[in-house]
Amino acid sequence: MTIKVGIFGSGLVSMHYITGLYRLREGTLKPYGVPFADFKLPYNFTDEEVVTVYDVDEDKVGHELREVIKRNINVDVPIPDSIPQLKIKKGILGGSSAGLDKIFKPIGLDQEIGLEDAIEEITRDLKRSSVDVVLNLISTENVEDVKSVEDLKSRIKEGRLSASQAYAFATYLAAIDSKKPIAFVNFIPSPLANSDVFVELYKEASSVILGDDGATGATPLTADLLEHLKERNRYVRYIVQFNIGGNTDFLALSIPERNLMKEKTKSSIVKDILGYDAPHYIKPTGYIKEIGDRKFVSMDIEWITFNGLIDELIVNMRINDSPALAGLAVDAVRISKALLDKGERGTVYEFNAFFMKNPGPKHMPNISRIRAYYNLLEYLKKREILMN
């Protein structure tokens, strides 16, 4: 039983996912950072197999995946020989190219053959590769949700659809054409599981679209701390949380037109958890190359406790940014495939609430990770996915 995985974006998260996955398959890595490693699920991580990978960076497209990983993972991690011999394919730029040229030379299939044909070409590849699960790990883009299927189609004609929307649509077409359910896991902030139009399309294709924006690093920790304060009825006066990193994700976020979506998904936790909008500043704030992938996070929360006194919590940490999401991705893949097998359609809030910063469907609340974790376990038991 293999799970065939397609990946859009071959950046650091994607490369850590592939490297870690093949080390797990070889038995040379302990599954720390994989949340459900100790639970019995219908699929093991060793069932996951990467079959197709896309990017738009001229230095990556057309190159051997393993070579690109060796060249770009700049930490001391062994790169297994068992990584499949795949060439990275040329993806779509669509309406998402703004600012990318400040990071690398972007090249897109749509520049050559137009957006409509590029989507068709990717649909054909996803069908040919028989993908079960697709991971969206491209650079954060600025996206406006589509209003209707007609709106989506006219944006394709005008070449204005964002890259993630184009990939999600190509995946939907592949599922419809091949009559085979596919899970699209959106780890970036673009509203896809939060888009009524995309959720409906995926229902129609007997598939699932899960998202949005992988929850790692400081945001889930802040969510759990807020839950702790809420449960004790301590009144939060303010929250300050910032991140400074030195990877290309942070570089992309330092470009104003690419940063907007991230601010939106990070800030939704405050009101959803506390029930009031405590003043807050929660943003990825800066890029310093020398910090590398082990980002610096700082947090300051002040609250009113009993007898009107003021308490304060200050947290400083350094976190390996990309491996944190890569570890979650290992479980996200096998759980989303199990959800498909159980006949789930559209999107699955219980999955999203644990794995994502902005859980779809639209208007569903952001809950603390601790609550989301136990809710998901409960849900997986009910659906007979969790077997111990």
Ligand X SMILES: NC(=O)c1ccc[n+]([C@@H]2O[C@H](COP(=O)([O-])OP(=O)(O)OC[C@H]3O[C@@H](n4cnc5c(N)ncnc54)[C@H](O)[C@@H]3O)[C@@H](O)[C@H]2O)c1
Q: Considering the complex, state which of residue 80 and residue 108 has its C-beta at the smaller distance from ligand X.
A: 108
Q: Considering the complex, state which of residue 235 and residue 373 has its C-beta at the smaller distance from ligand X.
A: 373
Q: Considering the complex, state which of residue 376 and residue 386 has its C-beta at the smaller distance from ligand X.
A: 376
Give me the phi and psi of 210, to 5 degrees please: -115, 140
**Would you say 109 and 75 are in contact if contact means Cβ atoms under 8 Å apart?**
no
Nearest approach, Cβ of 226 to ligand X (angstroms)? Answer: 19
Nearest approach, Cβ of 249 to ligand X (angstroms)? Answer: 4
Residue nearest to ligand X (CB): 11
- Order of all β-strands in the sheet with 310-320: 280-287, 235-245, 294-304, 310-320
Q: Considering the complex, state which of residue 48 and residue 249 has its C-beta at the smaller distance from ligand X.
A: 249
Nearest approach, Cβ of 124 to ligand X (angstroms)? Answer: 17
Q: Considering the complex, state which of residue 225 and residue 324 has its C-beta at the smaller distance from ligand X.
A: 324
**Would you say 183 and 343 are in contact if contact means Cβ atoms under 8 Å apart?**
no
Nearest approach, Cβ of 150 to ligand X (angstroms)? Answer: 24
Residues 6+ apart with CB under 8 A from 362: 191, 194, 195, 196
Question: Taking the alpha carbons of 330, 334, 335, 336 in that order, is the dihedral positive or negative?
Answer: positive
For residue 114, the tally of other CB atoms under 10 A from its CB is 14
- Site of interaction with ligand X (CB under 6 A): 8-14, 54-57, 91-93, 96, 104, 137-140, 163, 187-188, 213-214, 216-217, 247-249, 252, 321-322, 324-325
Instruction: Report how far residue 149's alpha carbon sits from residue 85's, in angstroms, rounded to the nearest whole number.
Output: 37
Angle between helices 321-341 and 12-26 (to 10 degrees): 70
237: helix, coil or strand?
Answer: strand
C-alpha R_g of the chain: 20
Q: Considering the complex, state which of residue 187 and residue 379 has its C-beta at the smaller distance from ligand X.
A: 187
**Would you say 180 and 329 are in contact if contact means Cβ atoms under 8 Å apart?**
no
Nearest approach, Cβ of 218 to ligand X (angstroms)? Answer: 10
Nearest approach, Cβ of 134 to ligand X (angstroms)? Answer: 12
Nearest approach, Cβ of 37 to ligand X (angstroms)? Answer: 18
Q: Which residue has the tokens 């570089």?
A: 251
Record the tokens describing residue 208, joined without a space. Answer: 């699932």
Q: Considering the complex, state which of residue 100 and residue 229 has its C-beta at the smaller distance from ligand X.
A: 100
Nearest approach, Cβ of 329 to ligand X (angstroms)? Answer: 10
Q: Which residue has the tokens 């398959």?
A: 25
Record the tokens describing residue 24, joined without a space. Answer: 């797990």
DSSP states along 239-293:
EEEEEEE-SHHHHHHTSHHHHHHHHHHHHHHHHHHHSS---EEEEEEEE-GGGTT
Q: Considering the complex, state which of residue 137 and residue 269 has its C-beta at the smaller distance from ligand X.
A: 137
Q: Which residue has the tokens 């290992």?
A: 330
Q: Considering the complex, state which of residue 325 and residue 386 has its C-beta at the smaller distance from ligand X.
A: 325
With residue 313 as reference, give the H or E element that holds it. Answer: strand 310-320
Record the tokens describing residue 324, joined without a space. Answer: 């944190």
Nearest approach, Cβ of 370 to ligand X (angstroms)? Answer: 19
